[in-house]
Amino acid sequence: MESVQAIKQRFGIIGNTPSLNRAIEKAIQVAPTDISVLVTGESGVGKESIPKIIHQLSHRKHNKYIAVNCGAIPEGTIDSELFGHEKGSFTGATQTREGYFEVADGGTIFLDEVGELPLTTQVRLLRVLENGEFLKVGSSKVQKTNVRIVAATNVNMFEAIQKEKFREDLFYRLSTVDIHLPPLRERQDDIHLLFRKFASDFALKYKMPTVKLTDNAVQVLLKHRWGGNIRQLRNIAEQLSVLEQDRTITAETLRSYLPTSGTNLPAVIKTSKSESDFSTEREILYKVLFDMKSDLNDLKKLTLELMKTGNIKDVEKNNESLIQKIYGNNNEEEDTDYEESIENPEVIAIPEHRSNDDDSIGIQDKYHFAEEIEEEETLSLHDKELELIKKSLERHNGKRKLAAAELGISERTLYRKIKQYDL
């Protein structure tokens, strides 16, 4: 059995991080077997190296090795690509075609981005893993294949299973052995080594001197988050090699090639909302309407009691808490308005031709009363929304972003409301 160091030299793998060495050790150990392997890790970490190691160290190394990018094949043709099809099975099938599982019989198939497979294709793949059988598209004849499957994904498989985008039984069949490759930001000691290797390769390729980093530039390189991992680092090294006349790269020069949000500093990540801004705004309006309905019911109760008793003082005494709830007790002006409304019953739509001793209201009077209440409700909805927006903006000193977050609407919607109400 070859050593980890020998394997890294053979396949051009740079780095000495313990987690990377452990991943290579697992690949060496499972290679002689036929068990399925799932390689996990972020995009750009070099997952394609692991299936090559497994194939070359297995007894299948003299047979075919086929790498398939599942995310790059359209959903309508992926079954045909993997399992083949019969002539005339669909429009454009002018002849019988062998799929990858038939061509790679006795060898290894690497299914990259396996998390992108459609559910119907996942069912077919599960059958291959369980008993080595598959059906061509448009055929009823069961065929056998003997392939080793190594899959890779950058998708969180447990989340995909919860969202029913990936079959749980297929996941456990594929991940008999799980090999995880660490992201570049967790391989601090390897970042500069990789950069120097890439810079040397590009200098040889483009026949020019090798670029070198100053000490400050090396620190910038190490602090960057490297969201694209090794692939991103390689691209940066190539750009510097081709574009920079001065072969000594300073920290300022390097920063100009790096995305501004790529440091390892803590960051606040805004989570996406589960509902649209429209739905959130609608919920706020519903709440306002329910509050208004409650106030209207309280007003009706006061009005009817006033109509029955005709005694303002008794109504005020018996319903003190209700009056405070509706009108408040902190503003003398509001109390005056309330007293005026009690002294002038017509203000709250008590018909003039009815006496205070009547127990009922005529049909026409009820109709007019409902009309006035409905008009007041519409106006109050406008005022409530305006009041909420004003209070929120005042509380956050005019900062629309914070006010929008408190109100549960988007900043764009809040801006539109500000223009609408001319705030």
| Residue 333 to residue 324: CA distance in whole angstroms | 13
Residue scoring higher pLDDT (220 or 407): 220
Chain mean pLDDT for the chain: 82
Give the separation between CA 357 and CA 283, rounded to whole angstroms.
Answer: 42
pLDDT (0 to 100) of residue 241: 94
Reply yes or no on whether the pLDDT at 333 is more than 50. Answer: no
Query: Of the ranges 61-75, 147-161, 374-388, which one carries the lowest mean pLDDT score?
Result: 374-388
Mean pLDDT of 153-169: 94
Task: Please tell me the pTM assigned to this model.
Answer: 0.61
The domains located in the chain, with CATH, are 4-182 (3.40.50.300), 185-255 (1.10.8.60), 277-310+346-421 (no CATH)
Inform me whether the pLDDT recorded for 423 exceeds 90: no
Highest mean pLDDT pick, 89-93, 132-136, 308-312: 132-136
Q: Is the pLDDT of residue 210 over 90?
A: yes
pLDDT at position 23: 96
The predicted model gives 100-117 an average pLDDT of 95
Query: 371, 378 in Cβ contact below 8 A?
Result: no
Q: Output the CA–CA distances (angstroms, integers) from residue 129 to 119, 125, 293, in the order listed.
A: 15, 6, 62
Sign of CA dihedral 263, 268, 274, 276: negative
Res. 316 pLDDT band, cuts 50 70 90: low
Containing 69, the helix (H) or strand (E) segment is strand 65-69
Confidence of residue 406 (pLDDT cuts 50, 70, 90): confident
| Count of other CB atoms within 10 angstroms of residue 148 | 24
Enter the tokens of residue 260.
């501004």
The predicted structure's pLDDT at residue 172: 95
pLDDT at 347: 42
The reported pLDDT for the residue numbered 260 is: 76
Q: 328: pLDDT confidence band, cut at 50, 70 and 90?
A: low
Q: Are strands 148-153 and 142-144 parallel, antiparallel or unpaired?
A: unpaired
**pLDDT tens for residues 25-39?**
999 999 999 999 999
DSSP 239: H
Q: Pick the residue with more confidence: 333 or 254?
A: 254
In angstroms, the CA 84 to CA 87 distance is 10
Which of 36, 37, 58 minimizes the C-alpha distance to 129? 36
